[in-house]
Amino acid sequence: MKIERIDLYYISMPLVSPFGTSFGTQLERDCLILALHSEGLTGWGECVATNDPGYSYETAVTAWHILSDFLIPAVLGKELDEPEQLQGWLSKVRGHPLAKAALDQAAWDVTAQRDGLSFAQKLAQPYSEDPRERVKVGVSIGTQPSIAQTMDVIAQHLDEGYGRIKLKIKPGWDIKMAWQARHTFPDVPVMLDANSAYTLDDAIIFQSMDELDLLMIEQPLGYEDIYDHSQLRPQIKTPLCLDESIHSAEHARYAIALQACDIINIKPTRVSGWTEARKIHDLGVAHGLGLWVGGMLETGVGRAAQLAMASLPGISLPGDISATSRYYAKDIATPFYLNKEDSTITVPTGPGLGIEIDMARLKEVTLKQESFA
């Protein structure tokens, strides 16, 4: 499939409510949407780099620069047979995994469409098991103005049908809030995400949460750290999950060698895309790690590809893949709904991502558009 043309959209969408983390609070979300055209088909990708470099060094603006000046020129005109070829063409660019992942997603989508397969079916081809039809999901809840309000927000999401709650923590907003959540909702699976807000000296904070029977604590320490996590892990009972510091299958291998984590949050977008994410999936399965699929407030374009990843057989824990209405009143693609009875979302079965793009809505939220041919 010759890569004939790529369209890049810089979009900004209002969030239904502010999303607060240890690195800041977001009221609207910027990201890039990419359309890859080949032989009458269009593959879509979402670059989750956003307004600020709080989660990752990449922003929507740096990703625009890296994509338009380096990554897109490296792939335009190339013959794409299988999506696994793509990373080789991008390898002269160091880092910038979020920018690379947008192209990677579009390459998986367009080749899956050509093959008459869903994104999930194409990803699952090496495995003997079929991809799951529905995947378990939970909801990620940002920091709130008070503990009482946090309990209200949890109750509201439980009422909507979410069966797993993730709470963002930061220094000063941790033990009391987690204790209250555990005692208000004793039977609900609860996990915490620190987004790198602590150091090893804070081990006592995590030890004091040992008795809360938390599902896991996600990325308590440095955003590039693996070693200190390996030092913290034997000091606490709560399973330890890495997010930010795993950028590739190599990093996953280091984390496994150092016994730095029990669980990996696989965000394909954080590791340059689905080809690399699948390698991490396979390593995690081989070493008995817990695995789940994280999110970055994706639109339906990104959500569809997260769902495909979460449908793979080794994914063992609920993903951060909430329904469209969790973040957006009006999305740019077919909305996803929660199956209330089992806290799942149904994986699309149509060719590729299996979603319709609402082009009128996409244009409405686009701040800048450019085509490369």
| 267 a catalytic residue | yes
- Shortest gap between Cβ of 240 and Mg ion (angstroms)? 12
- Shortest gap between Cβ of 68 and ligand OSB (angstroms)? 24
Q: For the CA atoms of the chain, what is the radius of gyration?
A: 20
Report if residue 320 touches Mg ion, rule: CB under 5 A.
Answer: no
Helices (DSSP H) in 38-169: which residue ranges? 60-66, 72-75, 86-90, 97-115, 119-123, 147-160
| 168 a catalytic residue | yes
- Residue number with CB closer to ligand OSB (49 or 236): 49
Q: Which does residue 296 bind out of ligand OSB, Mg ion, none, counting CB within 5 to 8 angstroms by kind?
A: ligand OSB
For 275, counting Cβ atoms within 10 Å of its Cβ (0-12 exposed, 13-18 middle, 19+ buried), the class is buried
How far is residue 151's CA from residue 211's CA, in Å, rounded to a whole number?
A: 20
How far is residue 8's CA from residue 370's CA, in Å, rounded to a whole number?
A: 5
Report if residue 195 touches ligand OSB, rule: CB under 6 A.
Answer: yes
Q: Which of 43, 97, 295, 314 binds ligand OSB (CB under 6 A)?
A: 295
Contacts of 6 (CB under 8 A, 6+ apart): 34, 35, 36, 37, 72, 75, 76, 103, 106, 371, 372, 373
Stated length of the chain: 373
Report if residue 299 touches ligand OSB, rule: CB under 6 A.
Answer: no
How far is residue 89's CA from residue 85's CA, in Å, rounded to a whole number?
A: 7
Q: Which does residue 276 bind out of Mg ion, ligand OSB, none, counting CB within 5 to 8 angstroms by kind?
A: none
Give the chain's count of helices (H) and strands (E).
13, 13
Report if residue 225 touches Mg ion, rule: CB under 5 A.
Answer: no
The answer to whether residues 309 and 293 touch, using CB atoms and an 8 Å cutoff, is yes
Which range, of 59-67, 146-154, 290-298, 342-350, touches ligand OSB by CB under 6 A? 290-298
> What Cα–Cα distance (Å) separates residue 269 from each residue in 165, 246, 295?
22, 11, 9
Question: According to CB under 6 A, which residues from 18 to 77 bind ligand OSB?
Answer: 55
Question: According to CB under 6 A, which residues from 303 to 332 bind ligand OSB?
Answer: 320, 322
The angle formed by the CA atoms of residues 256, 258 and 261, to the nearest 5 degrees, is 55
How far is residue 162's CA from residue 139's CA, in Å, rounded to a whole number?
A: 6
How far is residue 132's CA from residue 21's CA, in Å, rounded to a whole number?
A: 31
Q: Which of 36, 154, 297, 332 binds ligand OSB (CB under 6 A)?
A: 297
Q: Which of 163, 284, 294, 314 binds ligand OSB (CB under 6 A)?
A: 294
Percent helix, percent strand, percent coil in the chain, to nearest 5? 35, 25, 40
> From the candidates 78, 100, 168, 363, which is the catalytic residue?
168
Report if residue 298 touches Mg ion, rule: CB under 5 A.
Answer: no
- Residue number with CB closer to ligand OSB (3 or 292): 292
Q: In what order do the strands lie in the sheet containing 366-372?
A: 41-47, 24-38, 5-21, 366-372
Q: Which does residue 46 bind out of Mg ion, ligand OSB, none, counting CB within 5 to 8 angstroms by kind?
A: none
The answer to whether residues 8 and 34 touch, using CB atoms and an 8 Å cutoff, is yes
Which range, of 73-81, 256-264, 291-299, 348-356, touches ligand OSB by CB under 6 A? 291-299
Q: Which residue is nearest to Mg ion (CB)?
A: 243
Q: Which of 174, 243, 276, 331 binds Mg ion (CB under 5 A)?
A: 243
Report if residue 239 touches ligand OSB, rule: CB under 6 A.
Answer: no
Q: Which of 30, 109, 193, 331 binds Mg ion (CB under 5 A)?
A: 193
Which range, of 36-44, 152-160, 173-181, 288-296, touches ligand OSB by CB under 6 A? 288-296
Report if residue 140 touches ligand OSB, rule: CB under 6 A.
Answer: yes
Q: Which residue is nearest to ligand OSB (CB)?
A: 295
> From the candidates 78, 267, 340, 368, which is the catalytic residue?
267
Report if residue 162 touches ligand OSB, rule: CB under 6 A.
Answer: no
Report if residue 58 touches Mg ion, rule: CB under 5 A.
Answer: no
Which range, of 115-123, 203-211, 246-254, 292-300, touches ligand OSB by CB under 6 A? 292-300
Q: Which residues of this protein are in contact with ligand OSB, per CB under 6 A?
A: 55, 140, 193, 195, 243, 294-298, 320, 322
Active site residues: 168, 267
